[in-house]
Chain A
Amino acid sequence: MADRIDVQKTYKIYIGGEFVRTESGRYYPVTEPKSGKLIANLCLSSRKDFRNAVVAARKAQPGWAGRSAYNRSQILYRIAEMMEGRRDQFVAELKRSGYSAAKASKEIDTSIDRMVYFAGWCDKYQQIYSTVNPVAGSYFNFSVPEPTGVISVVAPEDQPLAGLVSVVAPVIAGGNTCVVLCSEKSPLTAVTFSEVLHSSDVPGGVINLLTGQETELVEHFSSHMDVNAVIYARSHKDNLKRIQENASLNVKRVVVRNEKDWTDAKHENPYTILDTLEIKTTWHPIGV
């Protein structure tokens, strides 16, 4: 009997809960670093893909923020459960991207554990970051955190899954929605992660994943008026400068997270949730 023909996977981008191809019709090859063998052609996402993703993220934001904190926690935990089921696939994809077996296993385990970690914080950060403020007047004055809104995220280039989870999990834990640019050289795990999201009760549009070139897309990631904050987790100085300049258009918050090792335990840290929260203070009259 003849050898079975491989069924190759088409790696697509993930916008509004759907797996779509880039509207531009452009692709770029992703290869195995050692052999140079082609793994797949990935979508080279365009300005318009980003625009569509922002529309989806904006649409999903009120619904996601409006869910109970407990329910968001359940959904994040569900993502971790689904990742666990795909553990071997993730490891294999990292190995194809040139990671050693040991490194790949460690990164995937960290990614899953980190998702569980932030699932736990979903209904707890509010108590930590809320305050009751003493004021000199007959007011009950209190501050509570609210989601910033739609966040664009340039995810780390190396450690593609642990990096992605470490920057995205705190964003969605806080009730935000996001559009993420995945690692350009090793995007496989990110695309597989979108399949995990699809089967984890995460509403469409909460996390949108694009593949493509950083230098092409940072302009749009940072200039879109309907984006409320940018997280930049890479190290190109010129791109960061452009982001910071464009962010001034509508005073986006710019969060820089340029880290060497995303498996480090220091990234299990609730203050990363605070990066994309706004504190709202209420003056409530009393004793009138």
Chain B
Amino acid sequence: MNTKIHSKPDFSITFPVDQVGIEDRVARFNTRSIKKDSKKFALKLALSMVDLTTLEGMDSPGKVRQLCYKAMHPHESLADIPSVAAVCVYPSFVAVAKEALRGSGVKVASVATAFPSGHATLKAKIDEVTYVVNEGADEIDMVISRGAFFRGDYNFVFDEIAAIKEACGSAHLKVILETGELQTLDNVRKASDIAMYAGADFIKTSTGKIVPAATQPVTQVMLEAIRDFYFKTGIMIGMKPAGGIREAKKALNYLVMVKETLGSDWLNPDMFRFGASTLANDLLMQIVKMETGNYQSADYFSND
């Protein structure tokens, strides 16, 4: 648990990120070849890291229950398939999800703090977080105030995250930077640092409501921020790219990035997550392909 406050750096000083270098590094990760048993292991690992997510206006208790069932039993016709890490829903469905997932070990994550825009008063945000914590959420996905961030009001962003962290109690806090709105990798790095020093347990790229969502360069910058933070403080912060990762192959590329930037200690669902809804099915299709030898069709995988 990240409770000890470390001397916080001066956030008005920008940590320069070498964009060309990052893109080159990412391109190299994508050339790694993972085959056979390693691939099967990686696909299952990736599946166990998925936060199955439904964040739509038309969500209903029935849909959330359906998603929870899928989270616990991703593909019943095959033995030895792990359940996913968590189900991510809106605050009003936390109780439904909690009930549906009871005893399964699958966690309930809820977005909060006026997701996805973050435009609300601090009091409203804290009330929302308190509400979802009381409903039983294990993890809170908050959004940072991009408005304040762009005004240069970094202390406001920092204090807000710290206040939310306090309201979370024992629940894990994931801080969504919404990197699609941050414009530059320098800003991504800065927002990552602010979030980590303010007490985030996880940093997360995106809400999934903005294009581009998670990209590899952005994730790489955040992973490096986590690495530097770890070297400074000894605290391990988790990472969650969310949105836009739909293919199993892409997911494996992300695992390579994590392994080669942070090491194997981060290669587990406690330290790394995929925020995705369609990725799970593609992972399953690839796993079944490896088991049976035949390319699979989406027709034979539950669509929820």
A residues neighboring B (CB under 8 Å)? 51, 54, 220, 223-226, 249-250
Q: Are B297 and A223 in contact (CB under 8 A)?
A: no
Choice from B294, B298, B299 contacting A249 with Cβ under 8 Å:
B294
CB neighbours of A249 from chain B (8 A): 294
CB neighbours of A250 from chain B (8 A): 297, 299-300
Please, how many residues of chain B have a CB less than 8 angstroms from a CB on the other chain? Answer: 8
The answer, yes or no, to whether B215 is at the interface (CB within 8 Å) is no
Inter-chain CA distance A214–B90, complex, in Å, is: 52
The answer, yes or no, to whether B296 is at the interface (CB within 8 Å) is yes
Chain B contact residues: over half helix, strand or loop, or mixed? loop
Which B261-304 residues have a C-beta within 8 angstroms of A?
293-300
B residues neighboring A (CB under 8 Å)? 293-300
CB neighbours of B297 from chain A (8 A): 224-226, 250
CB neighbours of A54 from chain B (8 A): 295
Inter-chain CA distance A208–B299, complex, in Å, is: 21
Choice from B295, B299, B300 contacting A223 with Cβ under 8 Å:
B295
Residue contacts A-B, CB under 8 angstroms, 24 given? A51-B295, A54-B295, A220-B295, A223-B293, A223-B294, A223-B295, A224-B294, A224-B295, A224-B297, A225-B294, A225-B295, A225-B296, A225-B297, A225-B299, A225-B300, A226-B295, A226-B296, A226-B297, A226-B298, A226-B299, A249-B294, A250-B297, A250-B299, A250-B300
Inter-chain CA distance A238–B244, complex, in Å, is: 44
Shortest Cβ distance from B106 into chain A, in angstroms? 28
The chain A residue sitting closest to B293, CB to CB, is: A223
Shortest Cβ distance from A250 into chain B, in angstroms? 7
Interface core residue of B293, B294, B300 (most chain A CB under 10 Å): B294
Inter-chain CA distance A167–B215, complex, in Å, is: 43
CB neighbours of B299 from chain A (8 A): 225-226, 250
**With A54-B295, A224-B297 given, can you name 13 additional A-B contacts, CB distance below 8 Å?**
A223-B293, A223-B294, A223-B295, A224-B294, A224-B295, A225-B294, A225-B296, A225-B297, A225-B300, A226-B296, A226-B298, A250-B297, A250-B299
The chain A residue sitting closest to B298, CB to CB, is: A226
Inter-chain CA distance A187–B297, complex, in Å, is: 30
Shortest Cβ distance from A31 into chain B, in angstroms? 33
CB neighbours of A51 from chain B (8 A): 295
The chain A residue sitting closest to B296, CB to CB, is: A225
The chain B residue sitting closest to A226, CB to CB, is: B297
Shortest Cβ distance from B178 into chain A, in angstroms? 29
Inter-chain CA distance A54–B293, complex, in Å, is: 16
The chain B residue sitting closest to A55, CB to CB, is: B295
CB neighbours of A220 from chain B (8 A): 295
